Chains A and B, each alone.
Chain A
Amino acid sequence: DTEVTQTPKHLVMGMTNKKSLKCEQHMGHRAMYWYKQKAKKPPELMFVYSYEKLSINESVPSRFSPECPNSSLLNLHLHALQPEDSALYLCASSQGWGNTIYFGEGSWLTVV
């Protein structure tokens, strides 16, 4: 079983809503990630936090806003999303750079 926990598992939101996806890990990992995965495509990197600081932003639109309150938690704040943003959002963590990345079970997001 994965030790990366994501909530909620499913989320349906309107284009004017504000919602958040949450991720938690207690493995002492220092790097945390957000990936987006569309159907029949591989995961695409969105953000990487290393030691609670944003290290990589893969040119993600500002309607997605990450936050890392502490070394165990990672949030993804969502605002004014578009239907094409509907996807599986995967949180992941690793001990550090270049180590094995472990994924959470994902949050299925539908924007209506």
Chain B
Amino acid sequence: EDKVVQSPLSLVVHEGDTVTLNCSYEVTNFRSLLWYKQEKKAPTFLFMLTSSGIEKKSGRLSSILDKKELFSILNITATQTGDSAVYLCAVCGSGGSNYKLTFGKGTLLTVNP
């Protein structure tokens, strides 16, 4: 069975801090790893990673994938209160002819002013 483990489960920081969120996985026939940000509504797509060692960057957020060690990290620099959210890691793999997206439990990030 596919498995995605995120750590830490929750994190409290002050504005301006840098945070690193972790995601490790075990999945059949890995295809991609995705990061989402979820506030009080639906998950918002952040990054999709398919290749090892290539950093994806969007403003203060960046992410990288290690397919050998089966993990990914999401970095947020100079955090702001608006970064407070649950960050979900999901891995897409295939079992048989179908692809499935398996989510981790998420990391709840709280950024205090």
Question: CB within 8 Å of B: which residues of A?
Answer: 2, 41-45, 48, 55-56, 88, 90, 97-98, 100-106
Contact = CB atoms under 8 A, between A and B. Distances in A.
Interface of B: 31-32, 34, 36, 41-45, 48, 88, 90, 92, 94, 98-101, 103-106
Contacts, number: 49
Instruction: Report whether over half of chain A's contact residues are helix, strand or loop; otherwise say mixed.
Output: loop
A105 B31 CA distance: 26
A100 B48 contact: yes
A48 B94 CA distance: 14
B103 A42 contact: yes
25 contacts: A42-B88, A42-B104, A42-B105, A43-B43, A43-B88, A45-B100, A45-B101, A48-B98, A55-B98, A56-B98, A88-B42, A90-B43, A97-B99, A98-B32, A98-B92, A100-B32, A100-B34, A101-B90, A102-B45, A103-B43, A103-B44, A104-B42, A105-B42, A106-B41, A106-B42
